[in-house]
Structure 1
Amino acid sequence: MKKDEVLSDWDESQTPLEDRKQAKKLVWRTRFSIGFTVIRTLLLLLLVYVLYVSTIDIFYNMSGKQAAFDRMATTLVETRTPGITIEKQGMSREATITPFLTQQSTYSVYRQVGDWKVSAGEATVKKRLFGKVQYHLDEQKKYLDDGFTNNFPVAPDLLGKTSAEKGQSGFSLTEQLANVEDGFVAQVKVGVKKGMTPEKLRQLLSRYDLEINQMAVYSGEITNYEVSYSQAGQFTFISPLILRPAHEYDEENKLSSWRLFLTNKQSLAEAEKQLIQDLEWLTEHGRYYGREIDQKRLEYLNEHGIQVIGAVVTGPVREMEKLEQEEQLYQLQLGGIEVWNWNK
């Protein structure tokens, strides 16, 4: 007799009650046994996962990789973004290393307006195991279109052209500040009509009651290698390398000290030396977007020295107005205004 015929002829009611109970108990025992095995397997996998993640985290922190990652993140963001500084206190509070070995840290950034550190958002820096370092700046803007871009006009003489006429981008700075009372400070971005050394620009700006946050460096863009740029009339704009105040690191790449401004001669000289060191360190140790450009920048700066095409400064609004009358400055842009906080 075939198996199907046996099953079709079988009547459960004809099976003794005691056997049916035993069969049901056996079925439930089997179900509980399978379920318990699945739960134990899941708990074991969870334990293995926790141990794996903990081991990665401990190794990551003990290896010093976080310090090197912080250094790279800080250098990349601050040497590419005018007017923006990463807050060094409590750096990388949200540092993480994923099970897939992706490094990611989030940093608070600010704009220096007078003596205020004005919160400007966050910078998130990420590096996958076999990928390149990349960062995203989630910038908080008071105005949707404040005109404070990453671009600076290139001094025409550096491009082999005649000197530029004095010109403005958007509203006149004087017009913008005309109805602002004395008790305010501002951040302003300025361009220079001719390329000059950082020290020469420092001396020019030392006539005014202000602090120099950063300077924009010309490092061979357009003339020595191709980069993206824009033009508006006679002006050519690029996103230049930014000369920031000097940062000191120990042998383990941990930040030991840093300056806030470029206003005095010593701090500026230290910043110039640090810029070359930063580029050397980045191109030697980093895999990031723009590394090839930085190698060309480093070659240009080693051959021609550092020349600047602008600066980001801060100070009382009345002093910022005076900058528009300076013959060697042009393309002034207002970055922000805050109530008085000035102790220079």
Structure 2
Amino acid sequence: MSKTPHDEERVFQEEDFEYQRPEWGHKQFKRMVWKTRWKFFLNAGGALFLVFMVYHIYVSSLHIYFDQSAVRNDFMRSIISVVEMHGDGLRVEKKINVQPFEVTPFLTQKANLKIYRHVGSWEVITGEIQAELSITGKFTYTITNTGAYMNGNNPGPFYLPYSLVGGKSDHNDSEESSSLKRLGKIDDGHVAEMSLSLKNLASPDQLMQLLSDYDVAVTAMPIYSGEFTEPSVSYSRAGMFDYNIPHLSLKPLYEFNDNGARWFNYFVSDDAGQMKEQVQAMLSDLEWMSNHLEYSGAELDKQRLAYLKKNGVQVYGAVVTGPVRELEKLTKVPEFQHFQLNRVEIWNWD
């Protein structure tokens, strides 16, 4: 059978194709592989660099935003309000501009701050606090105590007036007697911090009036918030003795404003107008923190706030500091009971 012109053309094209097919050598193949690898590495490196730059810009933007005074003040207000209002004379350091604040990529603010107590005129460091505030408003903190002693030297508890716990108390006064004995043996060249309870509820002004004749300063007052009158507000009994309960504390004024903050270390005994301002500031802080923050006890604090708005603020004790002889005089005042000696320091009283 003879070939047609079409068949001859097809054979020619196939033979021509086979003739032009390249034959790869070993070196050429390796060169192609490495070229592909380098291209992949360069692309991956470029992508990583881009991610790094985006992350750096993101983190820098976060710090620029969270370093603004308004944002930082809200975080500090969260720490101070929750910690100090639930403590007994405990204070958080307040030098905002020099504190080690940080923010995580997930928008959680963190701070590591010193905590201290007023003993005489000194601010005595007693530990550190690690606080976190998430973008959702969840506030958590832990306190690490760095006291000078392995045991003891913790602030004494406050005990409710007998009238609120069903009459006569069965309080065991062995620890109180120990405190009074130690107080009597300390010489005049020392100052100390002491907790005392009232036999009856009193307004903050009434308590300050009782203390006005003595050379002492008041750093905190436990507030009665209806724990024994409101069924939904829980309380607990301390061992087999008297009733002492978790409570809010009235503390000297700490106020934030556009220009920074102002605060007082002690209550002023002869200024009724300032005491009214202290009480109002405490209620405002309590309302702000219980509505804006999610923390352990926030729901209970809302109930406490409702009680205080309805019934007013009454206290049943105080944390006082001053010369030991002045503190000793307070143990003879009929309206006071349950004295607990706390920190003692050498003389530093102005």
With normalisation by structure 2, the TM-score equals 0.84
Counterpart selection for 2:261 from 224, 244, 256: 256
Secondary structure at the counterpart of residue 238 of structure 1: coil
The number of equivalent residue pairs is: 325
1:337 equivalent among 325, 333, 344: 344
**1:34 alignment counterpart:** 40
1:92 and 1:291 mapped to 2: Cα distance? 29
- Structure-2 change in CA distance of 1:63 and 1:180 (3 Å): closer
Q: Alpha-carbon deviations, 1:99-149, whole Å to 9, x = none?
A: 111122222211100111111222222122335212222222222332525
**Cα shift at 1:84:** 1.0
- 1:310 Cα shift? 0.9
Residue 297 of structure 1 aligns with an amino acid whose one-letter code is R
Residue matched to 1:9: none
Counterpart selection for 1:49 from 30, 44, 55: 55
Equivalent position to 2:190, from 181, 184, 202 = 184
Contact 1:150–1:239 (Cα < 8 Å) also in 2: no
Residue segments in structure 1 that go unaligned for 5+ positions in a row: 1-15
Aligned residue in 2 for 1:112: 118
* Residue 163 of structure 1: how far off its partner (Å): 6.7
Contact 2:180/2:341 (CA < 8 Å) preserved in 1? no
Match of 1:243 in 2: 250
Q: What is the distance in 2 between the residues matched to 1:193 and 1:91? A: 43
- 1:229 deviates by 1.9
Cα 1:144–1:328 change in 2 (3 A) is: farther
- Could you tell me whether the CA contact under 8 Å between 1:168 and 1:332 is conserved in 2? no
Amino acid at match of 1:142: A
Evaluate the alpha carbon distance shift between residue 213 and residue 164 of structure 1 in structure 2; reply closer, same or farther with a 3 A threshold: farther
For the Cα contact (< 8 Å) 1:157–1:195, is it kept in 2?
Answer: no
- Give me the whole-angstrom Cα distance separating, in 1, the residues matched to 2:155 and 2:185: 24
Partner of 1:288: 295
Task: Specify whether residues 118 and 301 from structure 1 end up closer, same or farther in structure 2 by C-alpha distance, changes over 3 A only.
Answer: same
**Structure 1 position 160, deviation (Å):** 4.8
Alpha-carbon distance in structure 1 between the residues aligned to 2:154 and 2:318: 12
- Alpha-carbon RMSD: 2.5
1:216 to 216, 222, 242: 222
Aligned to 1:7: none
For 2:239 and 2:270, how far apart are their aligned partners in 1? Answer: 34
- Is residue 2:146 matched to residue 1:140? yes
Distance 1:28 1:175 in 2: 86
* SS of aligned partner of 1:172: helix
Aligned equivalents of 1:170 and 1:61: distance in 2?
47
- Kept in 1: contact 2:195–2:341 (CA 8 A): yes
Residue from 84, 99, 107 that aligns with 2:90: 84
Partner of 2:100: 94
CA distance in 2, matches of 1:330, 1:169: 13
Asked if the contact 1:191/1:310 (under 8 Å) is kept, the reply is yes
Q: Give the distance between the partners of 1:62 and 1:189, measured in 2 at CA.
A: 39
Q: Which residue of 1 aligns with 2:67?
A: 61
Amino acid at match of 1:52: Y
- After superposition, residues 197-216 of structure 1 pair within 5 angstroms as 197-216=203-222
Contact 2:111 2:130 in 1 (8 A): yes
How far does residue 171 in structure 1 lie from its aligned partner after superposition?
A: 4.9
Is the CA contact 2:169–2:241 (under 8 Å) kept in the aligned structure 1? no
Equivalent residue of 2:185, what SS? coil
Query: Structure 2 residue aligned with 1:19, among 4, 20, 25?
Result: 25
SS of residue in 2 equivalent to 1:326: coil
The answer to whether the aligner puts 1:227 opposite 2:230 as a matched pair is no
User: Which residue identity lines up with residue 258 of structure 1 in the other structure?
Assistant: W
CA distance in structure 2 between the partners assigned to 1:312 and 1:236 by the alignment: 18
- Are residue 303 (structure 1) and residue 310 (structure 2) matched? yes
Partner of 2:3: none
Provide TM-score, normalisation by structure 1: 0.86
TM-superposed CA distance for 1:320, in Å, is: 1.9
Distance 1:29 1:44 in 2: 23
Q: Deviations over 1:231-277 (max 9, x none)?
A: 34441011211000012222x5x642111111323243321221122
